[in-house]
Amino acid sequence: MTYYKILVNKDTRIEELYYENIVKPSLVPVETFKNNDMLYNIFHVEDKTTYLEKTTANKFNLLRNYAKGNNVILGITSGFLTFEQQMFKYEYFVRKRGKEFAEKSACFPGYSEHNTGLALDCDIFKNNKWGGIALDSEGNINSETAWLHTVLHKFGFILRYPKGKENITKMKFEPWHIRYVGEDVSKFIYEKRITLEEYCKLESNI
Ligand SMILES: [Zn+2]
């Protein structure tokens, strides 16, 4: 059974058996509404299909419909990545931006949430192009992105690497990376303004 609260970060890798026996069989194809050439060029994904864990895919579709009703058009940049694709991603960032940048933004195989099928990088279509969720030159987000961050929890998602929590997540602020944890946990995390790391620590102390 899928464990929606699973913690995967730079210190905690996904177990090989969990990856093979739980993650891989639970994947379903999901429509991205974006051109996925980046997946092909960087991650060597031959068929360009994006996959997510089944419930995560369903909930994202609900979130996307809800956003659409509020004039925010969502797409997916990147969903599940295999260990092999994760390695391509890491090496790509090392080549393009250097080792330090790669360490901060692309994890090794097994240490990335993209290997769980529960996480995705989303995007917003604005002014006739994708890229609406990216940080501006001053490191700020636009109003659509800010709005999105206030509704994620209603669909079981959390903003996984929020601003101001970099010392805990060990990741820079990523307004696009969202993670499915289930509605109970997402609401708790949102209301308490904590991270998944802090949630897991609290839970282990109960
Ligand atoms: Zn991501």
Q: If you measure from the C-alpha of residue 122 to the centroid of ligand 1, how many angstroms do you get, rounded to a whole number?
A: 8
How confident is the model at residue 101, as a pLDDT? 84
Q: If you measure from the C-alpha of residue 119 to the centroid of ligand 1, how many angstroms do you get, rounded to a whole number?
A: 7
How many residues comprise the chain? 206
Q: Which residue has the tokens 């509704």?
A: 151
Q: If you measure from the C-alpha of residue 114 to the centroid of ligand 1, how many angstroms do you get, rounded to a whole number?
A: 6
Q: Is residue 106 within 8 Å of 90, Cβ to Cβ?
A: yes
Q: What is this structure's pTM? A: 0.92
Q: If you measure from the C-alpha of residue 131 to the centroid of ligand 1, how many angstroms do you get, rounded to a whole number?
A: 14
Find all residues with CB under 8 Å of 46, minimum gap 6, and list them: 40
Q: Where are the beta strands (DSSP E) in the chain?
A: 27-30, 50-53, 73-78, 119-125, 157-159, 177-180
How confident is the model at residue 18, as a pLDDT? 96
Is 166 annotated as catalytic?
no
How confident is the model at residue 41, as a pLDDT? 65
How confident is the model at residue 142, as a pLDDT? 97
CA–CA gap between residue 59 and residue 57 (Å, rounded): 6
How confident is the model at residue 38, as a pLDDT? 64
pLDDT of the chain, 206 residues: tens digit per residue: 889 999 999 899 999 999 999 999 999 999 988 876 666 666 666 667 899 999 999 999 999 999 999 999 999 999 999 998 888 888 888 999 998 888 777 788 999 999 999 999 999 999 999 999 999 999 999 999 999 999 999 999 999 999 999 999 999 999 999 999 999 999 999 999 999 999 999 998 86
- Distances from the Cα of 148 to the Cα of 131, 171, 205, angstroms: 14, 20, 31
> Domains, the chain, ranges and CATH?
16-205 (3.30.1380.10)
- Distances from the Cα of 50 to the Cα of 29, 94, 135, 140, angstroms: 6, 24, 24, 28
Using the Cα atoms of residue 163, residue 169, residue 171 and residue 176 in order, give the sign of their dihedral.
negative
Q: If you measure from the C-alpha of residue 164 to the centroid of ligand 1, how many angstroms do you get, rounded to a whole number?
A: 18
Active-site position among 20, 46, 138, 174: 174
